């Protein structure tokens, strides 16, 4: 396992290019199961999670090869409906092969993904959705076993206790793409990643409209063909670097290749915090204010403040001039980063689904442990601005979702080294 050693306090200057979107790439990769023809995906980020999904596609009957920065996905003529525990348990996102397998092969046996440090991660909405389309579903020995000769379109409400489900919406959209008749998804997730999946499916010949809104309408078709598609930039990686720009004093970071319109909730908060934000086309510059004003935030499904930048925002607020409250309504337990930030001198305490953040003058470097993808990013940000040395262990969490992050930070002037643990 690797660890990162960071010497904090260095001013960060220069340009960072945002990689392709992890959370759009995973369902798009799953969608290639809907056709036997070749698909070409460009701007795919080289991450642990995309590698895991590639391994899963190979186990499900695909040949997948990198051709420079293009990913070529072809059928090897031996499709399998079984997504086994070994692969699915390492990455929850694998659940999004359920819909494609079921609608293409008439059956799917997908391991239950299991929980992770940010929460229980149930799949009841995924099961509800495919059952609404006529599938027979059993859950047995840790697997979801779904069968259906041909799915039939239906109207299905996909809102759960915590609102819409991103991958639940993805699964049902993909299942409905080859179903007979029309499917209407009510309370669909509106995330840009869901919109991107629908755009890719339409490139394959699907007939989907309403993506990006809470009501998505899918007219099933008989067959889908291959497509050549370029993934857009990662909204959450962009948000992470934009928050870093607001946190690192005397810095001047230019974040390139990001669609800032997808981060309006973050933009709204940054202005209240006192940061100066200038965005033109796909470039965003943020100037950190002398004093960070404490601004409380609650996460909500898109277009609300994203849960995936909650940890990174908490790192910023740990240096604010006062007390702020950070609440996560999507994953109320997503607070593993509190203990580690406190080891670095932050003063944060948890109260139920909220964190009370009492800003401190500065953070100090310390040995810390990464626990999940976005918590790791928060620790890296804290280490970059802390006084002294920070050592972050188990950085494979970071490598799941941030492509070449140490290289990108070194190019900005950070002192960051990767070593074997
Ligand atoms: C996606 O996960 C993202 N992952 C997550 O990003 C992100 O945090 C999440 O959406 C919310 O935006 C990928 O896209 C690969 P959900 P997903 O289903 O789809 C509850 C990251 O850091 N729920 O939208 O699995 C669930 O417990 C990752 O990149 C049910 O109740 O999340 C949660 O409270 C972490 N029943 C809420 O809905 C279900 O059947 C939202 O979960 C499914 C979910």
Kindly list the domain boundaries of the chain, sorted by start residue: 2-18+233-420, 22-230
At 186 the pLDDT is 98
Give backbone dihedrals phi and psi of 16, rounded to 5 degrees, phi first.
Answer: -125, 130
Distance 96 CA to ligand 1 centre (A): 11
Distance CA 348, CA 280 (A): 35
> By alpha-carbon position, which residue is closest to atom 22 of ligand 1?
308
The pLDDT tens digits for 73-97 are 999 999 999 998 988 888 889 999 9
> By alpha-carbon position, which residue is closest to atom 13 of ligand 1?
23
162 lines ligand 1 (CB under 6 A): yes
258 lines ligand 1 (CB under 6 A): no
Checking 347-350 for CB contacts under 8 A at 24+ apart, the result is 347/318, 348/314, 348/318
Q: Counting atoms of ligand 1 from 1, which one is nearest the CA of 170?
A: 19
pTM score, whole prediction: 0.97
Nearest to 246 by CA among 214, 291, 289: 289
> By alpha-carbon position, which residue is closest to atom 35 of ligand 1?
308
Q: Are 116 and 334 in contact (CB under 8 A)?
A: no
Instruction: Identify any residues that bridge with 280 across adjacent strands, giving them in sequence order.
Output: 283
Active-site residue flag, 116: yes
Q: Indicate the fold that domain 22-230 takes in CATH.
A: UDP-n-acetylglucosamine1-carboxyvinyl-transferase; Chain (3.65.10)
To the nearest whole number, what is the mean pLDDT of the chain?
96
Q: What is the mean pLDDT of residues 237-254?
A: 96
93 lines ligand 1 (CB under 6 A): yes
How many CB atoms are located within 10 Å of the residue 374 CB?
28
Q: Are 186 and 155 in contact (CB under 8 A)?
A: yes
The single residue of 116, 187, 190, 364 carrying the catalytic annotation is: 116
Distance CA 285, CA 280 (A): 9
214 lines ligand 1 (CB under 6 A): no
Same fold? 2-18+233-420, 22-230? yes
Q: Counting atoms of ligand 1 from 1, which one is nearest the CA of 95?
A: 25
353 pLDDT more than 90: no
The pLDDT tens digits for 282-308 are 999 999 999 999 999 999 999 999 999
Q: Indicate the fold that domain 2-18+233-420 takes in CATH.
A: UDP-n-acetylglucosamine1-carboxyvinyl-transferase; Chain (3.65.10)
114 pLDDT more than 80: no
Q: Are 23 and 194 in contact (CB under 8 A)?
A: no
Distance CA 117, CA 390 (A): 22
């Amino acid at each position: 396992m690797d660890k990162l050693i960071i010497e904090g306090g260095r001013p960060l200057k220069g340009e960072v290019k945002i990689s392709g979107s992890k959370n759009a790439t995973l369902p798009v990769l799953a969608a290639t199961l809907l056709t036997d023809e070749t698909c070409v995906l460009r701007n795919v980020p080289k991450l642990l999670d995309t590698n895991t999904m590639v391994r899963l596609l190979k186990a499900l009957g695909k040949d997948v090869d990198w051709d420079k920065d293009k990913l070529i996905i072809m059928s090897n003529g031996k499709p399998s409906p079984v997504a086994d525990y070994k692969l699915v348990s390492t990455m929850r996102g694998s659940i999004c092969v359920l819909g494609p397998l079921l609608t293409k092969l008439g059956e799917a046996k997908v391991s239950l993904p299991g929980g992770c440090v940010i929460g229980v991660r149930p799949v009841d909405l995924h099961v509800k959705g495919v059952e609404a389309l006529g599938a027979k579903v059993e859950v047995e020995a840790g697997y979801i076993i779904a069968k259906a000769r041909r799915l039939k379109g239906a109207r299905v409400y996909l809102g759960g206790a915590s609102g819409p489900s991103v991958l639940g919406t993805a699964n049902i959209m993909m299942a409905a793409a080859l179903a007979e008749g029309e499917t209407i998804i009510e309370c669909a997730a509106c995330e840009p990643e869901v919109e991107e999946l629908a755009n890719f499916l339409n490139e394959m010949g699907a007939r989907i409209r309403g993506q990006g809104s809470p009501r998505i309408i899918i007219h099933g078709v008989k067959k889908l063909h291959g497509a050549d598609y370029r993934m857009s930039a990662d909204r959450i990686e962009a948000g992470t670097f934009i928050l870093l720009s607001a946190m690192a004093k005397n810095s001047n970071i230019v974040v390139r290749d990001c669609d800032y319109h997808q981060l309006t909730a973050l933009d709204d908060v940054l202005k209240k915090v006192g940061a100066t934000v200038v965005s033109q086309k796909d470039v965003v510059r943020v100037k950190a204010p002398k004093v960070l004003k404490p601004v409380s935030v609650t996460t909500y499904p898109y277009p609300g403040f994203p849960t995936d930048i909650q940890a990174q925002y908490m790192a910023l607020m740990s240096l604010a001039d006062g007390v702020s409250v950070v609440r996560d309504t999507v994953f109320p337990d997503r607070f593993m980063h509190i203990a580690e930030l406190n080891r670095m001198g932050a003063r944060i305490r948890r109260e139920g689904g909220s964190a009370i953040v009492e800003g401190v003058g500065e953070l100090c470097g310390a040995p810390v442990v990464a626990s999940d993808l976005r918590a790791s990013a928060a620790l890296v940000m804290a280490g970059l601005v802390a006084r002294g040395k920070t050592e972050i262990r188990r950085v494979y969490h970071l490598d799941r979702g941030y492509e070449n992050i140490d290289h990108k930070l070194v190019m900005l002037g950070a002192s960051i080294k990767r070593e074997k643990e």
